[in-house]
Structure 1
Amino acid sequence: MSAKDINAPAHVEVESTPGIEKRLDAGGDDGLAFVLENGRDAWTEEEEKRVLRKIDFTVLPLMFVAALFLYADAQVFGTAAIFGMVQDLGLYTLSLVNGAVVLDLSRYSMASGIYYLGAVAGTYPLLLLAQRLPVGKFLGGFMLFIGTLAILTITCHNYAGILVLRFIFGFQSILTPLCIIITAMWWKTSEQPLRAGVWSAGAAIGNLCGQAIDLGAVHIGGVYAASPWKWLYVVLGSIALGLGAVVFAVFPAGPTTCWFLNDRERMIAVNRLLANNTGIHTKKVKREQILEVFKDPQTYCLSIFNFVFSFANSSLGSFGGLLATSFGYTATQALTLLMPASAVAIVSITISGIAINRFQNRRVLIAILFILPSIAGNALLWKASRTNKGALLAGLYMSAIFYGVLPATSALAAGNIAGHTKKTTLNSVTAIFAACGSFAGPWAYKGSEEARGYPTAQTVLMSLFAVCALTMGFLEFCYRRRNKIKAAKLAQLPAAARDPLMGFRDMTDLENPLFVYTT
């Protein structure tokens, strides 16, 4: 064995016993089944780098594409609002306030928000279904589903119709928790932040690409010249259908069976994840892991973060265009001026991912540092003179810096939660909180406050960002305290009790004495 050989012992022989596959299927992790069947060989650093490159150049682009076009579809509703959808579908009412006619956008807010009620209803059942199916096929099939829904949007003719379709569209919110689970299946804990940053950037780039496509689509004319918002859904829905078919065809189920690795490379891909202590995948749903989720403080800390993040994201997505028009710009100008906000989000995510990759145990601190500028940005939107367009635009762009928290929080959710049922359940809970935040976000914007820049929304956002920063600080305290307790217990654990395959026993992070939380 050369000096660069790693992951000794050189080989682990496992005696085959009748019925072992059935027993493993009843509760063991796929990684454990693979190791018991194939053993463990040592490998070189060069071999692992080659395997990692193959994973990065196959799995990561597919996740990026899925995030890009699913979020491009998600953002189109806000753009459609300023290109005739509100008028065509009757998403407004007029009311009399102090003798003046005031535009009431409560219907638009409901149509925007009901998407997230669909997310609340669909997240957990869909993630449980994903646990039972090949994850790649599920992701590709889901893209086909969303693309179809996007095109069907043009068939809506009234308020009731768009409510129904938007509710079903809300199932799309499983993308983030699904990508977090997939990230834990393929990459080491130390590798996850940068990869999470890449597919998170796909979401932000999806907003930017969506806006660019929107800008071209509304000028197509033709059959929808009078309702240009319909072209947005036709174009983006068609792209999602095409790419969904590609993802469905080529996305691998997991490292134990992936088509682009040979037998030895699959062995390396699986065994190198053992030290994560989070497992790879199992179809068995375990009741005790579900119960543990609701006893774990990180569930509530991550849920609060997801609520706040999604509140802000939904506010910007649904009312960003209307906010920009409140500065005195036309609809087309507003759409153009929103693009730099998406660029700020992309840059923030990229910088955050690189920083976390460099400072592995500073994830929470880095997340907090990306929250603070957004507080300042919303303060500008709140207090800057309505005639000072430069300050207002600066505030809008600064408010998008909060997207930089995504690589940190996604990596925490992927690397600090073990046990597949616990991962599925906890990510479902946080996704439901996210959906609630997204539902609540648009309601902070009151149509009667347009001329003043929606001050209620800005003050609510600043308050929530402050709560989020404090919550993240408490989460880091919990992680460090747990690591200290675990280290003390591990020091007393006999060497014979340290199972080398414990990371594939589908144990939770609280159950596994070898598990170490990243902060």
Structure 2
Amino acid sequence: MEKHADKTTAASIREGSHDDVDKAYEFAKQHAVGPLDDDDNKRILRKIDRNLLPLMIITYTLNFMDKNALSYSANFGLSTDNNLVGNQYNWASGSIFYLAYMVSQPVVARLIVRFPIGRFVATATMLWGAVLMTTAASRSFASLMTIRAILGCLESCINPAFIVISAQWWTRTEQPLRISYWYLGNSIGQVCGGLLGYGIAHITNPTVPNWAWFFLIFGAITILYGSFLFYYLPDSPLNARWLSEHDRALAIERVRENRTGVENHVWKWSQFKECMLDVQCWLLVATFFLDDIPAGGVGSFGSIVVKGFGYSPLYSTLLLVPLGVIQAICILFGGFMTKRFKNIRTWLIAGCQVPALIGAVLLYTLPRENQRGLLGSYYVVQTHGIVGTLTMSLVSSNFAGYTKKATASAMMYVAFCVGQVAAPQLFIPSETPAFKTAFLAAFICFALCIIFTIVLRFYLIWENKRRDNLVLAEGELYVFDDEFLDLTDKQQKVVFRYVL
């Protein structure tokens, strides 16, 4: 039955029903550039890396800095001026932001499919910069919660969109390293945010509170950058202004082997349903969720935790800088390892959890007098930062079909949001500064993350072997140019193999 269905779908498209195929299908047929030689492939890759990666890195850097601006300003009077009591800071810093982020994901998935993705990302960037600036006017818990909720909705557009963009431009072997590069925005944002925050903390103005400058300056930078992004970020290789017509055809030909498509604006409920029933998707969702509970605590409570080790508020802000450096080293290590060794992604995800788990145990057990030991353990926990890039690269590489990929990306970030919402609630005010519950939860999450990742690896190995056996039993199903027909990975079961 499946074999017949696949042939029917392919045949109907071949006969001329092109309404819902990938936009690259007709473009590739018209230009027919054929396989690239090594020189052309390297030349096009250099152009893509040089023009696209910096845009993604800067966008992701601003995304991180802006959502964590509240954390930078926490030690400079924000809570007092907004009359925050009890766990209200927990709700404003992370929970409401990520609740809004989570609720927005189904809408974001539809918008990514419906609208040109470059303009969509640029518009969201400018809007969240404007909303961030309004935080400076907040003087109550209610207004702060409202602003953070709107900010969460707007910033939620970036991660799912970037997973789709990565699949549009880079081959499956290239994606982990490139995703590592743009994910470095988190690390760069940690460093730049800490240094910029240190400088902003020295601003003295009797009419504007010290903490408000974080939002005014960060937001203004984002609006200006978003305006540039609107002009320069392409929607796909089909309209990249920095590629000639011939080079656009070559860029599309490069990703033909992915079999995951380039651009399609038709929402397909069959692909949505397939994604919701995909075991691989749910294992990745579980892994991402478990990893983001500890990550959420670092983002929202970083300066407060470090201050609790016995450092001054100003010095605590500066001590957040090494967190970004450590995370950057780990992310780049993971990216280069995937380039050097085949099918190593799941092993890296599981392996990086081990030192993070040890760090969480030390934070839970070390005496509060051991200031350097606590700070060092907090830094060691950051080795788990590699999980985000590699799980996203698995979504980018292993999910074919434009709607299915957009849905899987949204599901990942629903899980991300649930983790981020839960994380601040684990930092119980009565446990300040030790936060025992939070670090015990981090230990449990790291351990479970290892288990789910190993299960995922062996599931993918089993599925690939099953497909190999299918080829032996039935032979090749696809005998013509079908890479841009917007078929899912399950519809391409004979020719599509999952990376591990």
Supply the distance in 2 between the matched residues of 1:332 and 1:256 (Cα, whole angstroms).
48
Write out per-residue CA displacement over residues 108-144 of structure 1, whole angstroms, 9 at most, x where no aligned residue: 1111210011011212212311222221111111110
Residue in 2 aligned with 1:253? 235
Supply the distance in 1 between the matched residues of 2:143 and 2:287 (Cα, whole angstroms).
32
TM-score normalised over the length of structure 1: 0.91
Q: Which residue identity is paired with 2:62?
A: F
| 1:442 equivalent in alignment to 2:412 | no
Paired residues of 1:174 and 1:431 also in contact (CA < 8 A): no
Paired residues of 2:65 and 2:190 also in contact (CA < 8 A): yes
Supply the distance in 1 between the matched residues of 2:474 and 2:270 (Cα, whole angstroms).
24
| 1:197 equivalent in alignment to 2:180 | yes
Paired residues of 2:132 and 2:219 also in contact (CA < 8 A): yes
Q: Which residue identity is paired with 2:438?
A: A
Aligned-partner SS, 1:79: helix
Paired residues of 2:363 and 2:439 also in contact (CA < 8 A): yes
1:510 to 470, 490, 496: 490
Paired residues of 1:186 and 1:255 also in contact (CA < 8 A): yes
Supply the distance in 1 between the matched residues of 2:171 and 2:480 (Cα, whole angstroms).
17
Name the CA shift for 1:18/1:409 in 2 (closer, same or farther; >3 Å).
closer
Residue in 1 aligned with 2:456? 475
Name the CA shift for 1:174/1:499 in 2 (closer, same or farther; >3 Å).
farther
Matches within 5 A, 1:373-412: 373-412=355-394
Supply the distance in 2 between the matched residues of 1:413 and 1:18 (Cα, whole angstroms).
28
Deviation at 1:19, TM superposition (A): 11
Supply the distance in 1 between the matched residues of 2:228 and 2:72 (Cα, whole angstroms).
27
Residue in 1 aligned with 2:325? 343
Deviation at 1:326, TM superposition (A): 1.1
Paired residues of 1:32 and 1:501 also in contact (CA < 8 A): no
Aligned-partner SS, 1:279: coil
Q: Which residue identity is paired with 1:462?
A: F
2:166 to 171, 178, 183: 183
Supply the distance in 1 between the matched residues of 2:488 and 2:212 (Cα, whole angstroms).
47
Aligned-partner SS, 1:501: coil
Aligned-partner SS, 1:293: helix
Name the CA shift for 1:129/1:385 in 2 (closer, same or farther; >3 Å).
same
Supply the distance in 2 between the matched residues of 1:53 and 1:391 (Cα, whole angstroms).
44
Name the CA shift for 1:291/1:18 in 2 (closer, same or farther; >3 Å).
closer
Aligned-partner SS, 2:167: helix
Larger displacement relative to structure 2 (31-40 or 328-337): 31-40
| 1:90 equivalent in alignment to 2:83 | yes
Paired residues of 2:400 and 2:487 also in contact (CA < 8 A): yes
Supply the distance in 2 between the matched residues of 1:48 and 1:500 (Cα, whole angstroms).
23
2:157 to 151, 174, 188: 174
Deviation at 1:498, TM superposition (A): 2.2
Residue in 2 aligned with 1:491? 472
Paired residues of 2:260 and 2:400 also in contact (CA < 8 A): yes
- Is the strand fraction higher in 1 or 2? 1
Q: Which residue identity is paired with 1:79?
A: Y
Matches within 5 A, 1:119-130: 119-130=101-112
Write out per-residue CA displacement over residues 176-227 of structure 1, whole angstroms, 9 at most, x where no aligned residue: 22111110010000000110000011122112211211111121212555x2
Supply the distance in 2 between the matched residues of 1:19 and 1:360 (Cα, whole angstroms).
38
| 1:354 equivalent in alignment to 2:360 | no
Name the CA shift for 1:418/1:270 in 2 (closer, same or farther; >3 Å).
same
Percent of aligned positions that are identical: 28
Q: Which residue identity is paired with 2:97?
A: Y
Aligned-partner SS, 2:488: coil
Write out per-residue CA displacement over residues 141-195 of structure 1, whole angstroms, 9 at most, x where no aligned residue: 1110111011011121101001111111112133222111110010000000110
Residue in 2 aligned with 1:99? none
Deviation at 1:403, TM superposition (A): 0.5
User: Structure 2: any 5+ residue segments left out of the alignment?
Assistant: 1-12
Write out per-residue CA displacement over residues 62-96 of structure 1, whole angstroms, 9 at most, x where no aligned residue: 1111101111111111111111111111121xxxx
Paired residues of 2:237 and 2:248 also in contact (CA < 8 A): yes
Deviation at 1:494, TM superposition (A): 4.0
Q: Which residue identity is paired with 1:490?
A: V
Q: Which residue identity is paired with 2:70?
A: F
Q: Which residue identity is paired with 2:479?
A: D
| 1:299 equivalent in alignment to 2:281 | yes
Supply the distance in 2 between the matched residues of 1:34 and 1:480 (Cα, whole angstroms).
35
Residue in 2 aligned with 1:310? 292
Residue in 2 aligned with 1:365? 347
Which 4+ stretches in 1 moved above 6 angstroms? Answer: none
Larger displacement relative to structure 2 (264-273 or 63-72): 264-273
Residue in 2 aligned with 1:266? 248
Name the CA shift for 1:389/1:490 in 2 (closer, same or farther; >3 Å).
same
Q: Which residue identity is paired with 2:51?
A: T
Residue in 2 aligned with 1:52? 45
Aligned-partner SS, 1:41: coil
Paired residues of 1:111 and 1:162 also in contact (CA < 8 A): yes
Q: Which residue identity is paired with 1:163?
A: M
- Supply the RMSD in Å over aligned alpha carbons: 1.6
Deviation at 1:450, TM superposition (A): 1.1
Paired residues of 1:186 and 1:254 also in contact (CA < 8 A): yes
Aligned-partner SS, 1:508: coil
2:118 to 136, 142, 163: 136
Supply the distance in 2 between the matched residues of 1:224 and 1:274 (Cα, whole angstroms).
58
Name the CA shift for 1:140/1:19 in 2 (closer, same or farther; >3 Å).
farther
Aligned-partner SS, 1:324: helix
Paired residues of 1:40 and 1:271 also in contact (CA < 8 A): yes
Aligned-partner SS, 1:222: coil
1:213 to 196, 210, 213: 196
Name the CA shift for 1:323/1:18 in 2 (closer, same or farther; >3 Å).
closer
Q: Which residue identity is paired with 2:335?
A: G
Q: Which residue identity is paired with 2:457?
A: E
Write out per-residue CA displacement over residues 411-451 of structure 1, whole angstroms, 9 at most, x where no aligned residue: 10100001111111111111111111100000001111114
Name the CA shift for 1:294/1:19 in 2 (closer, same or farther; >3 Å).
closer
Deviation at 1:18, TM superposition (A): 13
Supply the distance in 1 between the matched residues of 2:414 and 2:472 (Cα, whole angstroms).
39
Supply the distance in 1 between the matched residues of 2:392 and 2:399 (Cα, whole angstroms).
11
Larger displacement relative to structure 2 (454-463 or 264-273): 264-273
Supply the distance in 1 between the matched residues of 2:190 and 2:321 (Cα, whole angstroms).
8
Q: Which residue identity is paired with 1:195?
A: R
Supply the distance in 2 between the matched residues of 1:303 and 1:460 (Cα, whole angstroms).
18
1:109 to 60, 66, 90: 90
Q: Which residue identity is paired with 2:47?
A: K
| 1:501 equivalent in alignment to 2:481 | yes
Deviation at 1:407, TM superposition (A): 2.6
